[in-house]
Amino acid sequence: MAKLLETKAIQKVLVEIQEIQKLVSVSGRVQFSPPVLHQTRKDYDVKRLIELLRGDWLVSVVGYFINHRPASSYAKLDDEYKVQDLIYCLGLTQIPDLQYEDPQKKNIGALTSTRVDFSSIAAKLFLEIKLANSGHIAKKIEAEISEDIVKYGKQKTFQTLIFFIYCYDYSFPNPREFERGFTGTHTIEGHQFEAFCIIKP
């Protein structure tokens, strides 16, 4: 049953990817507008999204492109923005109001506003994407996550913070231990929230 649900989610992702191709590309980056909801649904299933991120759906989608669309840029996820594209598509299947790169308000004393990769007001969700392709980058990601937990934790608009790390041509050292180290309940300036760290593949 779980495999069937995952397959349906992948099919939805592929439909959303077709929509991506219609978007205007500026300076080599796809510019997303807030999604137009073509369905009426009241459930914003963060738990299911986490299950899908932890599952094999991304490997399946990449495998589809490798085997059936080898000329597509998505056949090789060597860029963080490509990973963001796919996760944005998957996220919409569970979180209909998911927004791309939504700038948050400035923290007190900060010179700039914080910018999270994806967010949902209804689901009270923040989602950050990281790409690891070397040991140097992996160490940088560790520092970034520690900083992000504090930075985003000062915002009171979310209850769940997800870090999704995609490894391209790189084997992340002790991935399960790394995940456990950043997964759990955090409290920043009185704001309590749940953080999840997921490393794939």
Could you report the per-residue pLDDT of 58-88, keeping only the tens digit for each?
A: 989 999 999 999 999 999 999 999 999 999 9
What is d(CA 87, CA 136) in angstroms, rounded to the nearest whole number? 24
pTM for this entry: 0.80
What is d(CA 165, CA 198) in angstroms, rounded to the nearest whole number? 6
Listed by start position, the domains of the chain span 2-23+44-200
| Angle at the Cα of 145 from the Cα atoms of 143 and 146, rounded to 5 degrees | 65
Could you report the per-residue pLDDT of 6-30, keeping only the tens digit for each?
A: 566 666 777 777 666 555 444 455 4
Could you report the per-residue pLDDT of 123-140, keeping only the tens digit for each?
A: 999 999 999 999 999 999
Could you report the per-residue pLDDT of 104-119, keeping only the tens digit for each?
A: 554 444 444 568 999 9
Please give the structure tokens belonging to residue 31: 């510019």
Residue closest to 30 by CA, chosen among 80, 91, 70, 67: 80
Residue 19 CB partners (closer than 8 Å, separation 6+)? none
Residue closest to 163 by CA, chosen among 116, 139, 127, 188: 127
